[in-house]
Structure 1
Amino acid sequence: MSVQPTSAPTWHRLSPRMLAIHPIIELGRALPALVGVFFAGHAGGHGLLTSLAVAVAVVAVSITRWFTTRLRITDEQVQLRHGLLRRRTVATRRDRIRTVDVTAHLLHRVLGLSRVVVGTGTSDRKNESRIVLDGLTAVGAESLRRELLHRTPVAMTNQGSEPADELARLERSWIALAPFTLSGVVTGLLVWGFAWRVEGESGVDLLHSGPLRAVGHGLDAAPTALAVVVVGAAILVFVTVTSVIGYVLAFWNFRLVRHDGGAVQVTRGLLTTRATTIERRRLVGIELSRPLLLRAVGGARTLSIATGLRVGRGAEKGGEVLLPPAPVDRARAAAARVLNGATALTVDLVSHGLRARRRRYVRALSGGAVLVTAAGVGWQTGGSLWPVPVAVVLLATSVPLAADRAAALGHAHVDGALVTRSGSLIRRRVVLADHAVIGWTLHASLFQRRAGLSTLTATTAAGRQGYRVLDVETPVAIALADAVTPELLSQFRRRPAPAPRATMR
C-alpha cells in the first residue's frame, strides 16, 4: 500500500499479508481457551473436533479485521476506519501528531511489515487519541514516519536515510544490571498467570502432575530449612535468567539518535523491533529513575517526558524510555545530550529542611510502631508469636528507609527548568521545562499545615501530567512556582489597596 498523502477521498486497505498474521496472533491469545475446550470435550470423545471448530471460528473472526479496516491519509488528516458490527472512524489532524512508534514483531519482519502507532494529544493513557496502522510495509512505515514528523514529502524520503547524530548505543556490559531491575519477577507472574489460566480451563492440576509432582514430593521429604533454601535459590535463578532474557529481548541493538529535523528516535528490540520517534519540541523533560536495587549497583533508567507517549506501563513496554538500565553516569550523559548539555541533572538541589526530614521519620516510625503494637496485642490475646519479630524487623528497617527518603528530598530551578527529586524504593529526579508547566496545585494536609509544609505539584500535558515537590515550606513553594511561571501567578498577586481620594468640604 502506498502512503503518499492525497487530498482525494480514497480509502485503502492495509497489506493483504496481514491475512497470515491476524489468525496466528488470535490463535495465540485463545490458546488457554482452546486447551480448556480440548480437555472439556475429551471426556466425550470430541475434544479434538471441538477444539478445531473453535480454532476455525477464531481464524474466521480474525480475518474480518483486514476486510473491515481502511486507511486514508490526506494533506490534513490521518484517518482509520475499522469494525464489523460497530463501525468506527478515527481521525487526527497531522499538525497534532506528536510521536510515531514503528514496531515489527517476528511475524511482521518475516513478511516485511510494520505496525505504526501515531500518538497525539497528551499522555495517551487511555489510547483514545492514538491511531494504530497494523499492516504497512516496512519501507512505507518508515516513509510515513519521516513525512508525518519532519513534514518532508514521502517521495523524497524513500531515496535515502536521513542524517542522524548518535547520542547513545547499548553496551554489552549493561546487561549485567538486568537482574537488579526485577523485570524477572514480572515475567514470573506472567508465566504463573498463564499456567493458572490453562489449569482453570483444562481442569488439570499442574502442580501434581509430571516433573512438578516429583519436585514437590522431594521438597516435602526434605527438612524445612533445606526446602526453603532450595526454593529461594530456584526463585533467584529464575528471576535472574528471565531478567537477562527480558533485557536482551527488549533492548538489543538499542540506539538513541537525533535527526537533523530535531526529532529524537529510539530503536531497540531483538525479536520485536521498535522505533519510537519524538518531536524535539514535544520532548519537554527528562526523568532519571533509580529503583532501590538498581541504585545499589550504580544504575539508572532515563525516561522522556513528552506529549503523546504511553506511560504507566513499565519502561520496557512503554515508549518513554530514552536509555535502558545503565550505569548512572551514562544515563546522565545521555540525558544531558538530549537536553543539549543542561546541568539540571547534576546541579546541587535545595534541601527541604529539618521539618521535612522529621516528617519522613515520623511517618515511617509511626507505621512500624502500629504494626508492633498490633502484633503484640494479638500475641497476648492468644495469637501466634511470629508476627511480633516480623513487625520488629519492619520497624527497624523503617529507620534507614526514612533516612534515605529524607536525603532524597530536594528541588531547584536552573537552565529554564524545574528540577525535583524524591523517593526511596524508586528515586526519581525530574527535569521539566518551564514552558511545559500549565498550572500548579498547592496541597497541605492537616499534619503538613502544622509543620508549615506543603506539596507543590506542577501540572503539565506531558508524561505523568503532574510532578510533585514534596514537603517544601509553603513560602518556598510559592516562590518556586512564581520563578517557574511568573506570568501565571502575577494575576493572583495581592495588589496594594488604592489610596483614598481626598474630598473637599
Structure 2
Amino acid sequence: MLAVHPVQEAIRFLPVLIGVLFIGRNGQGHIWSLVGLGIAIAGGLLRWFTTTYQITPTHVRVKRGLLRRRELSVPRDRVRSVDLTAHPMQRILGLSRVVIGTGRSDRSDEGVTLDALAAAEAARLREELLRRTAKPVVTEEKPAQKELSRLSPVWVRYGPFTLSGIATIGVVVGSLANLFNETHLDPDEFGLLNSVIGQLAAAPLAVAILEVTVVAAILVAVLSVIAYVLAFWNFRLVRTDGTLHVTRGLLTTRSTTIELRRLRGVEISEPLLLRAVGGARCMAITTGLRAGRGAEHGGSVLLPPAPLEEARRVAGAVIDSPPPAGQDLLRHGPKAHRRRYTRAFAVATFITGVLLLLWWLAKWPTWPWQAALVLYPVGALLAEDRFRNLGHALTQGRLVFRHGSLLRRRYVLSCDGVIGFVMHRSFFQRRAGLVTLTATTAAGRQHYACTDLPGHEAVALADAAVPGLLEPFLVRRE
C-alpha cells in the first residue's frame, strides 16, 4: 500500500498539477505543483496508516479514514462474490485488490475493498470467504477443473464491432478540451491541427464529411481493438466443483468467481454490428453481481465478443443444458407482427409530418421532408427484423425470451429463480389483445420481459413455468 497508493493519488491529481504548472504566475507554478504533488502523496500514505481490516468467523470488518472515521461490517453469509484485480504496478509488486460483493454494495460506488494485499493472501482470502461449510477442509488436493472456454486470438476481429473506442475518443477529446481551457492554450499554435482544419475547409462539403467519417471509423476500430485486447486478453473460463472462475485482462488482470448455486441463467447479447459479423457476448444471470454497467466492467461476463456458436456452446455448458441457448422459439402471432409495423410507420409519419408542416408554414426547404420518406422502408425493415427476433419457449425447466433488433438479447432463465410475474398491457396492447409478461427474479437485471404475447398464452406460460403461483387468480374452464 505504501508503494501503490501514493502513485495512484499522484496520477489522480495529475491534470490539476499540470494546470497549476501552466497557470502559475511569477514563475511559481512549478513550486505549487510540487506542493500539490506532496499533498497527493501524503494522502496516499495516510490511507495505509488509517486502514485496517478483520476477518472473523461471522463478519468482515474494514476501518478507514482519519478525520472521518468509518467502519464497514458485512456478515460473511451475505458475501456473494470475491473479485481479484491487479493493475500493472500491483502485478510487478505481487499485489492484488480484493473486492467483496454482497449484492447490495455492488450497486454503489463504495464496496468492501481491500487494496492492496499480497497475491497469495488475496487468493487464500477469496477461497475462505466463498467457503460455505463450517468444517475445515482436511484435504489439500485442488478441486477438479474443467476449462469451458479460452480466448482465441482470431476473436480479436470482433473488437472493431463493439464500438468501445467511441468512449475512449470522448474521454480524450473531453480531456484535451479541458486542458486547453484550464491552461489557456491557443489551438492555433499547433501547426498540424491548423493544416488539418485548413484542408477540411478547402475541400467540398461532401468530401470533408466523407474524410471525417472514414478517419473516425478507422480510429474507432483501432481503439476498439486495443480496448478488446486490454480487457479480454488471457481470458479463461473454468468450472470447478460448485463455482465458475473467470480470469481476463492484459495490463490489469481480473479474476471473478461465480457460485453455481446462485446462477439463475445466462444471457446472449448480439448488438447489431456484432450480429452482422456473426458475433455475440455471453453473460451470467446470477445474484450478487453487478448488472447494467456493461459487460466489460461488470462481473457477469462469461464470454467476450466471440462467434455466436461459441456463445451458445458456453451458455449450454454453464447451465448444463445445451438446447435452450440455440433452439427455435415460438413466434408471437400476426397481431404482434402488425404492431411492429404500426409503431414503425407511426414514427415515420410523425417526423415526416412535422417537417412537412415546417416547409409549408415556416418556408423550410423541401429536401428535409423528402429525405424523411426513407424512414418508411427503413422502418419496415426494422419492424420485420424485430418481429423475427421476437420469441419465447419453456423447456427443461427454463424460460427462454428473445427480443430486440439493434440489440438482440436471448435470456435463458431458470424457473426455480422466478419469484413472480408482472403482466402489463398498454392502451394499444389491450385493443390488440396482447400482454407484456415480465418474470421477476433476484438475479441480474431482476426483471426479464417477453413482449406482445397473446393474453391467454401469457397466462398459460406463467402458470406452466411456476406451477401454483397463479392458482389463486385463475378461473379454469371445464
Query: TM-score normalized by structure 2?
Result: 0.94
Superposed counterparts of 1:158-177, under 5 Å: 161-177=142-158
> What residue ranges of structure 1 are gaps of 5+ in the alignment?
1-17, 497-505
Is structure 2 residue 31 aligned with structure 1 residue 44?
no
Aligned position for 2:81: 99
- Matched residues in 2 for 1:199 and 1:346: separation? 52
* Larger deviation, residues 217-226 vs 355-364: 217-226
Aligned position for 1:268: 248
Aligned position for 1:33: 16
- Matched residues in 2 for 1:35 and 1:48: separation? 9
- Deviation of 1:96 after TM superposition, in Å, equals 2.0
- Matched residues in 1 for 2:416 and 2:88: separation? 41
Please tell me whether the aligned partners of residues 412 and 419 of structure 1 are also in contact (alpha carbons under 8 angstroms): yes
Superposed counterparts of 1:421-500, under 5 Å: 421-494=402-475
- Matched residues in 2 for 1:346 and 1:176: separation? 23
Cα RMSD over matched residues? 2.2
Alpha-carbon displacement from aligned partner over 1:61-110 (angstroms, at most 9, x marks no partner) = 23222222111001111111222232222222222222111110101101
Alpha-carbon displacement from aligned partner over 1:414-468 (angstroms, at most 9, x marks no partner) = 1111110000010000011111111221111111111111111111111111100
Please tell me whether the aligned partners of residues 122 and 309 of structure 1 are also in contact (alpha carbons under 8 angstroms): no
- Deviation of 1:388 after TM superposition, in Å, equals 2.4
Aligned position for 1:376: 356
Structure 2 CA distance for partners of 1:495 and 1:469, relative to 1, 3 Å = closer
- Deviation of 1:494 after TM superposition, in Å, equals 5.0
Alpha-carbon displacement from aligned partner over 1:229-263 (angstroms, at most 9, x marks no partner) = 22111111101110111111011011000012x10
User: Which one of the candidate residues 399, 420, 429 is aligned to 2:401?
Assistant: 420
Query: TM-score normalized by structure 1?
Result: 0.89
Aligned position for 2:50: 68
Query: What letter corresponds to residue 258 of structure 1 in structure 2?
Result: R
Query: What letter corresponds to residue 440 of structure 2 in structure 1?
Result: T
- Matched residues in 2 for 1:487 and 1:86: separation? 52
Aligned position for 2:288: 308
Structure 2 CA distance for partners of 1:83 and 1:155, relative to 1, 3 Å = farther
Query: What letter corresponds to residue 28 of structure 1 in structure 2?
Result: I
Structure 2 CA distance for partners of 1:394 and 1:339, relative to 1, 3 Å = same
User: Which one of the candidate residues 360, 381, 384 is aligned to 2:340?
Assistant: 360
Aligned position for 1:143: 124
Aligned position for 1:217: 198
Query: What letter corresponds to residue 68 of structure 1 in structure 2?
Result: T
- Matched residues in 1 for 2:179 and 2:134: separation? 50
SS class of match (1:487):
coil
- Deviation of 1:192 after TM superposition, in Å, equals 1.7
Is structure 2 residue 61 aligned with structure 1 residue 79?
yes
SS class of match (2:408):
strand
- Matched residues in 1 for 2:188 and 2:413: separation? 50
Is structure 2 residue 302 aligned with structure 1 residue 322?
yes
Please tell me whether the aligned partners of residues 102 and 288 of structure 2 are also in contact (alpha carbons under 8 angstroms): yes
- Matched residues in 2 for 1:64 and 1:331: separation? 46
- Matched residues in 2 for 1:140 and 1:354: separation? 60
Please tell me whether the aligned partners of residues 113 and 137 of structure 1 are also in contact (alpha carbons under 8 angstroms): yes
Please tell me whether the aligned partners of residues 32 and 197 of structure 1 are also in contact (alpha carbons under 8 angstroms): no
- Matched residues in 1 for 2:403 and 2:105: separation? 22
Structure 2 CA distance for partners of 1:431 and 1:365, relative to 1, 3 Å = same
- Deviation of 1:135 after TM superposition, in Å, equals 0.9
- Deviation of 1:208 after TM superposition, in Å, equals 6.0
SS class of match (1:185):
helix
- Deviation of 1:158 after TM superposition, in Å, equals 12
Alpha-carbon displacement from aligned partner over 1:376-411 (angstroms, at most 9, x marks no partner) = 221232224453244223333111111111111111
Structure 2 CA distance for partners of 1:158 and 1:371, relative to 1, 3 Å = farther
Number of equivalenced pairs? 476
Is structure 2 residue 326 aligned with structure 1 residue 335?
no
Structure 2 CA distance for partners of 1:132 and 1:389, relative to 1, 3 Å = farther
Please tell me whether the aligned partners of residues 184 and 246 of structure 1 are also in contact (alpha carbons under 8 angstroms): yes
Aligned position for 1:116: 98
Please tell me whether the aligned partners of residues 99 and 113 of structure 2 are also in contact (alpha carbons under 8 angstroms): yes
Superposed counterparts of 1:202-281, under 5 Å: 202-206=183-187, 209-260=190-241, 262-281=242-261
Query: What letter corresponds to residue 23 of structure 1 in structure 2?
Result: P
- Deviation of 1:338 after TM superposition, in Å, equals 0.5
- Deviation of 1:303 after TM superposition, in Å, equals 0.6
User: Which one of the candidate residues 394, 406, 423 is aligned to 2:387?
Assistant: 406
In the TM superposition, structure 1's runs of 4+ consecutive aligned residues that sit over 6 Å from their partners are 152-160
- Deviation of 1:360 after TM superposition, in Å, equals 1.0
Query: What letter corresponds to residue 340 of structure 2 in structure 1?
Result: R
- Deviation of 1:19 after TM superposition, in Å, equals 1.7
- Matched residues in 2 for 1:254 and 1:369: separation? 47
Query: What letter corresponds to residue 36 of structure 1 in structure 2?
Result: G
Please tell me whether the aligned partners of residues 312 and 322 of structure 2 are also in contact (alpha carbons under 8 angstroms): no
- Matched residues in 1 for 2:118 and 2:136: separation? 15
Please tell me whether the aligned partners of residues 343 and 415 of structure 1 are also in contact (alpha carbons under 8 angstroms): no
Structure 2 CA distance for partners of 1:55 and 1:383, relative to 1, 3 Å = farther
SS class of match (2:80):
strand
- Deviation of 1:364 after TM superposition, in Å, equals 1.1
SS class of match (2:472):
helix
Query: What letter corresponds to residue 367 of structure 1 in structure 2?
Result: V
> What residue ranges of structure 2 are gaps of 5+ in the alignment?
none
Query: What letter corresponds to residue 236 of structure 1 in structure 2?
Result: A
Aligned position for 1:297: 277
- Deviation of 1:201 after TM superposition, in Å, equals 2.3
Structure 2 CA distance for partners of 1:352 and 1:417, relative to 1, 3 Å = same
SS class of match (1:344):
helix
User: Which one of the candidate residues 388, 399, 404 is aligned to 2:369?
Assistant: 388
SS class of match (1:266):
strand
